[in-house]
Structure 1
């Protein structure tokens, strides 16, 4: 007798190739049109699904998990970060959580370097001038930025993405420094040419550029708070392609407005898509709409990992990318 197929509910539209493969393997409910589910819709989806496929826009807390009932057995997150899911509460209720690590490492690292260059070389200002038809021709003193070769880059979080950023930055001639929860092995430091700082305060005060590449956890919330931001040199810039909650956005905005920092490049924000309006007005800030991992290849590979996690679970085995509270 054939084993009944799992009911899989997907909360957002995914690449067509991923959705097609899901339809072949599971009883899948796809999201059409593509819009963020309301909390009530998300709760209802969790009650009728064997497997839920959410993404970063879906906040799945303990109260929502309490409404899930007995059917839901796996939350196969479409994305590497799981700070929007209460993994501990899910585990207590016998619900497994998986994610998609590793597949967007290079894409995010590329965007980090793009932001560093955009902020230090005034690329958005030049683009705006050209698009507005205001360019009057070349001038020796126009649009002067700064050379990144020789500058000190301080990487906060030296996991897969942090190391990928280090390799790219080294190719631009930057000096690589880092702070991490756990120091890398000596041979890893040698390959990356990276200097470890046990004290985040000391590293922050000496860097020309800070790159945020750590996940959002209770211990990293506002890790770059008002006090630490004030430690940065007034000529320094900060770039964030990780999670917005790591930086105190209001304090950052105040520092930029006061000239205490030279600039910022942000792909993520503390309150999701609700960006501080004062931050939007600053000429020394480059803002992007959370597009660090947005490549066709990366999105497809994320979907492939989701499918593998669900298929492995359906076959009675532990999902290869299962997340447990001790990993966070």
Structure 2
């Protein structure tokens, strides 16, 4: 520690603090602009997803019960639009994403992608173009990569599935371009996932999601497992890629500060229903449903004057 002022009351571990120009004017950071919103590319109409669960034979005579994960879920998403989906845990956000991805099939209702209804088609029965058009960026970047394959090989594998490129050389070149897209050095193509940080792994996940030039990307809490500084970088990266490729982004999140910064419209879910849907400014000022109102409250400030009673 070195004294930072004349009387020595302020100390600093920084050895170069005297080189800081404290009178330098503040510079405004680059402001990310959003692309123009286009036509409707995705429409959900009265989507329902129910699960049958076995009840207790002791208390319910063994009768099956129904859990309603999604109930009358209706909305539209447009080209180049960011639609944020917010709500409490268990409100059905991830369930609707699974149905959209084809990991689950709908109980009732319709999902129209372009001119095609896909609500009853599981992912294994979907054609290659449909699979490529709807991709997902997952919450935990540590579990989404194969630990035994290099970064480049995992992206090339996605290109093979999406039938991008005529040969291995073309797919390898496309993989390097995707690394450029997510601002990772091309040398990372030969690295293993264990050699990457969390933010770098999430960038690889984004590159893989855009390998087939996806029309719709579902981002399910994509930055919640990352540090705050990395969250900002990944969020800006998503906005930049979306603007360049005119991708529709469905952004599932609990962090309303990111939602307010990123989204064009916000859909609030509660118990499987859509309880509020509108532009970001409309939903946030003022919130008319409990979820955004509760989540937007400031955290209670600590009270340093409060002294705890110590036990003898």
Q: Do both share a fold (TM > 0.5)?
A: no
Give me the TM-score of the superposition, normalised by structure 2. 0.26
Q: Which has the higher contact order (CA 8 A, sep 6+)?
A: 2
Structure with more helix by fraction: 1
Larger strand share, 1 or 2: 2
Decide which structure has the larger Cα Rg and report it: 2
